[in-house]
């Protein structure tokens, strides 16, 4: 990674934390929808980033979100897990579609379909772990399941809107 790329990623790290705790954590739609867009940081790290950097930065990201939401360890657990399985998902998806190893993972270098599938899998895993750990029981299984689906959809929509706002796809 060259210096420019490091700076962009560090900036994205802090920008997403602030966006999450100051804006998105205050959004309330009927108690079912809590978008956690900060995972975009983990999604967008370049493919060639060394594994230990991905893991440690995801841990720091999760812990920072936890500090603001009084849920110490909750977001960190979910974030570290998707950081760990991220390379596997990329490998599986890339077998189907050839891609250029871009500077970062986003619709600028990858097709929308590819990025959406990739984001969908990781966001679903992340949100499931988050909501089921938070309640820490299966006794409200269906209610929590609805929360996972509704919140994942909201997160994905926000991520895709963000992609089109900041990055134009290369034709």
The binding site for other proteins (CB under 8 A) comprises 21-22, 25-26, 28, 31, 34, 51-52, 55-56, 59, 62-63, 66-74, 76-77, 80-81, 83-84, 131, 133-136, 140, 143
**Residue nearer to other proteins on the CB measure, 109 or 131:** 131
Contact between 90 and 130 under an 8 Å Cβ cutoff? The reply is no
**Least distance CB 33 / other proteins (angstroms):** 8
What is the distance of C-alpha 112 from the center of its chain? 16
Write the CB contacts of 87 (distance below 8 Å, at least 6 apart in sequence): 51
Contact between 167 and 115 under an 8 Å Cβ cutoff? The reply is no
**Least distance CB 169 / other proteins (angstroms):** 32
Q: How far apart are the first and last CA of the chain?
A: 25
**Least distance CB 62 / other proteins (angstroms):** 7
Q: How many helical (H) and strand (E) elements, i.e. helices and strands, does the chain have?
A: 6, 0
**Residue nearer to other proteins on the CB measure, 81 or 116:** 81
**Residue nearer to other proteins on the CB measure, 22 or 112:** 22
């Amino acid at each position: 990674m060259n210096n420019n790329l490091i700076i962009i990623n560090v900036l994205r790290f802090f920008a997403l934390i602030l966006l999450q705790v100051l804006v998105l954590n205050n959004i309330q739609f009927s108690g079912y929808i809590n978008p956690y867009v900060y995972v975009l940081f983990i999604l967008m790290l370049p493919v060639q980033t060394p594994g230990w950097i991905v893991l440690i930065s995801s841990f720091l990201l999760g812990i920072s979100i936890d500090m603001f939401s009084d849920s110490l360890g909750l977001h960190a657990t979910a974030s570290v897990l998707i950081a760990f399985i991220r390379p596997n998902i990329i490998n599986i998806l890339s077998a189907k579609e050839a891609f250029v190893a871009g500077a970062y993972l986003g619709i600028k270098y990858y097709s929308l379909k590819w990025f959406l599938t990739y984001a969908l899998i990781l966001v679903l895993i992340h949100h499931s772990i988050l909501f089921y750990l938070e309640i820490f029981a299966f006794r409200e299984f269906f209610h929590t399941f609805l929360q996972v689906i509704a919140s994942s959809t909201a997160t994905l929509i926000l991520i895709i809107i963000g992609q089109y706002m900041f990055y134009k796809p290369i034709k």
